[in-house]
Amino acid sequence: MLQLDRVTARYDRLTALKDISLTIGQGEMVGVFGHNGAGKTTLLKCGVGAHKHIEGVITVNGERIIPGEVHRNVRIGIGFVPQGRNVFGDLSVEQNLKIAGLMHDPDYVSQVYKLFPILEQRRRQRAGTLSGGQQQMLALGMALMTKPKILLLDEPTTGLAPIIVKEVLRTLREINRTLSTTIVIVEQNVRATLKVVQRAIVLKSGRLVFDGPSDELGRQEDLWALF
Ligand code: ATP
């Protein structure tokens, strides 16, 4: 369970998140939406402890997330996939996965291959030569190598063709179902994401303006007015 209790986050004088309280239960899959600058990335960074300047308390299963101590926070079960293709382009697919799992269980690679058969087919290929969608799958696979209880993803479908967007989102749903991993996904592809998440959160200028079932948000005729 991920819990934020009255979290405010700042960059110098700019307040990026204002007094956010929310609880995300084990096994939930949640979409986080909002315009550019709404505070979505900052929310994820706070979750993994990558943002130092916060007020309030963040816990994972009762354990406190310590701002600035990402390595330690990852060890209590948080996986974070930042925006962009975060793979080592000169290394093979399998080397990327094994490096990601070095501090955990490098043999878990076989489990990751079950979720991403394409990565097994390309295991010896240099990661930099994979397509954009495949690199995103690899970045996801690398995060899974730490066996996270909670996976935080920042716009994993950016720049991908619509059919690949669907595939990435479908795979995330499968990870959520089969491994019971809690998933929090920041997305600009709102409609496609609403189809796979159960719950939606909307941020506007650092404040929580919607938190409810995804179909409720999807039904709102003035969906975009919320943003
Ligand atoms: P986007 O969709 O563009 O990624 P976002 O909703 O993820 O936007 P954040 O990146 O969390 O929003 O930014 C929230 C606010 O904090 C914005 O006003 C942004 O300009 C500001 N901000 C983000 N990162 C920094 C930084 N490193 N230094 C100063 N201000 C920042």
At residue 117, the pLDDT reads 92
Specify the DSSP class assigned to residue 113: H
pLDDT digits (tens, 9 = 90+) for 161-185: 899 899 899 999 999 999 999 999 9
> Residue 3 corresponds to which tokens in the numbers above?
């819990």
Q: How far apart are CA 111 and CA 68, in angstroms?
A: 31
Q: How far is CA 180 from CA 16, 93, 135, in A?
A: 31, 25, 23
Q: How far apart are CA 221 and CA 15, in angstroms?
A: 30
At residue 37, the pLDDT reads 93
The average pLDDT across 218-226 equals 73
pLDDT digits (tens, 9 = 90+) for 100-124: 988 778 788 998 999 899 999 999 9
Q: Is the pLDDT of residue 126 over 90?
A: yes
How many angstroms does the Cα of residue 80 sit away from the middle of ligand 1?
17
pLDDT digits (tens, 9 = 90+) for 135-159: 999 999 999 998 899 999 999 998 8
At residue 173, the pLDDT reads 95
Q: How far apart are CA 165 and CA 155, in angstroms?
A: 11
pLDDT band at 26 (very low <50, low <70, confident <90, very high): very high
At residue 106, the pLDDT reads 79
How many angstroms does the Cα of residue 193 sit away from the middle of ligand 1?
21
Crossing angle of helices 132-144/93-100, nearest 10°? 30
C-alpha angle 11-208-183 in degrees, rounded to nearest 5:
90
Q: Which of 17, 40, 227 to mutate to test the pocket of ligand 1 (most atoms within 8 A of CB)?
A: 40
How many angstroms does the Cα of residue 40 sit away from the middle of ligand 1?
8
Long-range contacts of 216-220 (CB under 8 A, 24+ apart): 217/33, 218/191, 218/194
How many angstroms does the Cα of residue 94 sit away from the middle of ligand 1?
33
At residue 25, the pLDDT reads 96
How many angstroms does the Cα of residue 176 sit away from the middle of ligand 1?
27
pLDDT band at 202 (very low <50, low <70, confident <90, very high): very high
Q: How far is CA 12 from CA 44, 51, 53, in A?
A: 18, 12, 9
Q: Which of 10, 13, 32, 41 to mutate to test the pocket of ligand 1 (most atoms within 8 A of CB)?
A: 41
Can you say whether the dihedral through the CA atoms of 179, 115, 45, 105 is positive or negative?
A: positive
pTM score: 0.92
Q: Which of 35, 36, 46 to mutate to test the pocket of ligand 1 (most atoms within 8 A of CB)?
A: 36
pLDDT digits (tens, 9 = 90+) for 40-94: 999 999 999 999 889 999 999 999 999 999 988 888 889 999 988 789 999 999 9
Closest CA relative to residue 45, chosen from 73, 23, 13, 21: 73
* Burial bucket for residue 180 (CB in 10 Å: 0-12, 13-18, 19+): exposed
Specify the DSSP class assigned to residue 83: S
Helix (H/G/I), strand (E/B), else coil: 90: coil
Q: How far apart are CA 166 and CA 20, in angstroms?
A: 30
At residue 227, the pLDDT reads 75
